[in-house]
Chains A and B, each alone.
Chain A
């Protein structure tokens, strides 16, 4: 009975996104149409411009979205038509246009930067595209800089972004599928993939997930990400994101799918594995030896970011006998004046460092430098002199911080920063046992994750030996003819005829 009552009392849920636009057919009177627009849809909209032209035409547009030159051209053309009294001129408009019969579509067109022309004695409105949105120039992405790679980065315009990808893949197989998301914002979302290579199953799955999105407005690609990833509460990124067209084009060529969102310079791509997040574009612009070395460094940095503070705590709190004597004496001397346990001093320094990092990000560049000086001198040196922390903790926190900057993917770096605190507490409570417990738990957790169905730790867990040639080690490119398992439709498909050593043939000729 109570349940029934509660159900009755529950107010009906309302969403701004479900506001309906009242529809009305267009009148044959110009002034009536303009009045209807201004009094029903665009009240209190000061940038809405509307006026009649000699009672023959009525024009309407939003001036902050309009291209002034185009507006002038259209108005001149319409004035000529009025002067010549030839309405037939409207049928030969020198602009691309379409016709609408309902106010619902006219208002949608106006808010998307179109020019509406109402014609006397006609129940149709002519809609001309005059959209002009200011966009920034193509610049090098700040967060994904390379040494030898191209300097282009995506912008906020999805059309520019599509062209940046298209100019790298001149093929009819590159498919571009558009759809809109956000019931109020009507944001364009674009799906790009290589037909015949990308898995049909994954494409359909992504389309299905995109169609399920119910949002009032899509502001960034990250919003989309949270709706389409396999595990909603995953702490690590399950969808790739990049500002680099070369990276996205390369991923599309590997059979992955890119998702572009209008207004966001970050293009999503998937499926991904965790190892792909540790790769940087420069790995492919340099020799395999350098690439392998750099990847090993990044992999080591990942572990250092996660475990160094906890290892320090475990060794100094539980397993002192494992520290070599000379080092143990040095650590003991450093900690002599410190009144806190290793956990507190490490936590103190870690939290202070996180403060500094956040402050450095938010502040203007000029003051950001001051913050780093304050951090290094005041917090570091003064804290040691005051006996708050030992010098070794400063070194450990600094190395951890440097390591965290080595991880190429920002989201992955942040995830491991959060996990680091979990490991600090585990090691402070259970020493090495806590660390190994946490590591195994994390490993199992990561093994259970999937990115659009692709195992997150592949090709290591599950182990695909043939896929190992582009994870921690980077084999020569001519040996990487195979596509990643599961990401393409046909498992036997190859990118090119692979050769063990293409240079050998020419050497024989020389001999």
Chain B
């Protein structure tokens, strides 16, 4: 089996963190906490870093074992299998969200006359192709895409920085705690996707690769800070009240960039780069979900039928459950952000406790 490097894992994680939070979340968060958006973002960053460290530590105790195999080891065949399947659902839903996010964004902003299903089919085809190529190829490809996206976002952040009105951040400290919990959950629903690291680390060539925790840590923190900075900038550029009314605040932010008189509007170019990145992220989530499903069921054959079946299931789910932007927003912010707590907080804590009891305590007792 081909293996990936620690650097490639860092790229994959950074990429997943760089594509989502600034799309819909700023408007929802601004609605709840106004200009004090920085506080939920900070809390979410801290929680995400802790989650990443925790999962990295646990998974590295089982070199060469896949994440579902670790779950089987810790929780037994049945409970481990159920937990593995539930994480398959988690990654599958993330794939659906990302796929539909790009479809609705392009449909609403640039392709109003094109049938949604045709765009969706194109996205799903690419995700299927990603899954057939395998995580190793995606890891290889992610290096350059992450550089391109990081440069684009940095360019965006720096270009619109002069437009920031600092008075929109006043007062800096909140006077009441209302809405903070929800906003933190919303931010953490995006940043908590760092959990993906638990399924990626087993792909690392642990025999030849040295652990590079500092690089992974630095990369994750950079991604979290960069996206937070963009979200914060949106407050400074639009004001909290205006931001609440924008469906695609980051696209609006891009329209503020003026490259002389000739290049009047360049949002399509930057959105196109984002589209490439989110397409790859959708592919990553789909590949990981398929892998998790196969590993949870101990099916290690390289069959392609399951991939095709899951893509068809994804297509049906999107068309029936999340057919447009409003249903997608409703699902993400009314249901999914809470479900994320289960996968990104409760289950990881459960895994940690079980790991400490089963492995550490038993080993200690045995010695």
A: which residues have CB within 8 A of B? 318-319, 321-322, 324-327, 429-437, 439-441, 443-444, 447-448, 455, 457, 460-463
Contacts and interface: CB of A to CB of B under 8 A. Distances in A.
Interface string B289-317: 00000000000000000000000000000
Nearest to A315: B268
A261 B101 CA distance: 54
Contacts of B118: 429-430
Contacts of A437: 122-123, 126, 279
Contacts of B268: 319, 322, 432
17 contacts: A324-B261, A325-B264, A429-B114, A430-B119, A432-B110, A432-B275, A433-B106, A433-B110, A433-B119, A436-B273, A437-B122, A437-B123, A440-B279, A444-B137, A447-B133, A462-B8, A462-B139
A444 B129 contact: yes
Interface stretch (B22-30, B32-40, B140-148, B335-343): B140-148
B5 interface: yes
Nearest to B266: A322
Q: Which of A321, A324, A433, A437 has the most C-beta atoms of chain B within 10 angstroms of its own C-beta?
A: A433
B76 interface: no
B237 interface: no
A431 B133 contact: no
A349 to B, nearest CB: 24
A441 B126 CA distance: 7
Interface of B: 5, 7-8, 11, 106, 110-111, 114, 118-119, 122-123, 126, 129-130, 133, 137-141, 143-145, 261-269, 271-273, 275-276, 279-280, 283
A439 B111 contact: no
A448 B144 contact: no
B275 A455 contact: no
Nearest to B138: A444
Contact of B140 (A318, A430, A441, A455): A455
A252 B268 CA distance: 45
B280 A433 contact: no
A318 B111 contact: yes
Given A324-B262, A430-B119, A444-B130, A462 B272 contact: no
Nearest to A326: B262
Nearest to A446: B141
B15 to A, nearest CB: 12
Contacts of A327: 262
B127 to A, nearest CB: 11
A324 B141 contact: no
A430 B210 CA distance: 44
Nearest to A426: B122
Contact of B7 (A435, A440, A455, A463): A463
A436 to B, nearest CB: 5
Nearest to A447: B141
B106 A447 contact: no
A436 B105 CA distance: 14
A327 B262 CA distance: 9
A99 B271 CA distance: 76
Contact of A431 (B110, B123, B139): B110
Contact of B143 (A435, A441, A448, A460): A460
Given A321-B265, A440-B276, 20 more contacts: A322-B268, A326-B262, A429-B114, A429-B118, A430-B114, A432-B110, A432-B268, A433-B122, A440-B126, A440-B279, A440-B280, A444-B129, A444-B137, A444-B280, A447-B141, A448-B137, A461-B143, A462-B139, A463-B7, A463-B144
Contacts of B279: 436-437, 440
A443 B133 CA distance: 12
B137 A431 contact: no
Contacts of A429: 114, 118
